[in-house]
Amino acid sequence: MSAGTIGGCLASMKAKYQADPVAAVRGQGFIKELHQFLANQFDALLLPAARRQGITVEQEATLFGSHKPKDVDVAVMHPVNGPLLVVGVRSQMSSVGKNVLTYYQDIVGECISLQDRFPLATYGYAYLHPLKEPEGSSVDHKRYSRMYGSISGRDGRNYRDVKGVYDQFAYLIVDFDSDPPGLRDDLLTTDDGLDLSISTFVPRMISTFKRRNIWLDVFA
């Protein structure tokens, strides 16, 4: 399976996790596979004119939030004007029910901090949960997808005044017990029918960016 596909990315993540679950998570080798996949997707769509301007796709870019610097996972950066598009990425492979609300608060706070300083950038987040926890216990995906849907969809003419809501969100529910690992988009549920699929995440991000920046030629 090609490493340039989401299926290939998930297969690489599964291999690293199976080899050493603790090292894969603590050393971030596991989630950095998803960082790289998303960075490659954005980079592949950068126009030659954007590259000539010095626009780049960076991983672990340090941005100054409203209160402190923040290393963002993926960012499309202009050399003069700063971040054009910002993506956070997180995985939670165990103790989901115990920690999910704390991480939810962190995700919202991160969004507010960056939007305070860079309100015109396009913001997205990709969050991965396993279909089941390692010990086999179930995960309340319906509840969590509704939670993530509630902090997605920053839109409208006054979008720049909205804080704590992402432009686009991707919630990955992954069955790592299957071979190859499979996405369970059929379990995604939101109150207003928002699209939370990782398969459409990059196109959704770019569509939002283009809609707000009709005078900028950055992405194909």
CA 159/CA 200 separation, integer angstroms: 21
Residue 2 predicted with pLDDT over 70: no
Q: What's the average model confidence in pLDDT over 154-158?
A: 93
Contacts of 93 by beta carbon, 8 Å cutoff, 6+ apart: 17, 21, 25, 30, 129, 130, 133, 134
Which pLDDT does position 1 carry in this prediction? 56
Cross-strand partners of 158 = none
Q: Which residue has the tokens 């990059």?
A: 202
- The arithmetic mean of pLDDT across residues 201-216, rounded, is 97
Structure tokens at 210: 């283009």
71 contacts 86 by C-beta, under 8 angstroms: no
Angle 139-9-203 (CA atoms, 0-180°, nearest 5)? 90
Q: Look at residue 93 and give its three-state secondary structure.
A: coil
Predicted confidence (pLDDT) per residue in 54-84, tens digit: 999 999 999 999 888 999 999 999 999 999 9
- Give the pLDDT score at 27: 87
Mean pLDDT, rounded, for 22-27: 87
Which runs of consecutive H residues, i.e. helices, occur in the chain?
6-19, 21-26, 29-44, 48-52, 96-117, 141-149, 201-212
Separation between Cα atoms, residue 64 and residue 59, nearest integer Å: 15
pLDDT at position 88 over 70: yes
Q: What is the pLDDT of residue 172?
A: 98
Lowest mean pLDDT segment, chosen from 2-6, 180-184, 201-205: 2-6
Q: What is the mean pLDDT of residues 109-122?
A: 96
What is the pTM assigned to this prediction? Answer: 0.96
Average pLDDT value over all residues in the chain: 94
- Does the pLDDT at position 21 exceed 60? yes
Token representation of residue 19: 């080899």
**What are the distances in angstroms from CA 76 to CA 90, 137, 150, 217?**
18, 38, 25, 13
Predicted pLDDT at 116: 95
Q: Which residues are CB-contacts of 131 (< 8 A; sequence separation ≥ 6)?
A: 139, 141, 173, 174, 175, 176, 177, 184
Neighbours of 170 (CB within 10 A): 27
Answer whether 129's CB lies under 8 Å from 172's CB. Answer: yes
pLDDT band at 171 (very low <50, low <70, confident <90, very high): very high
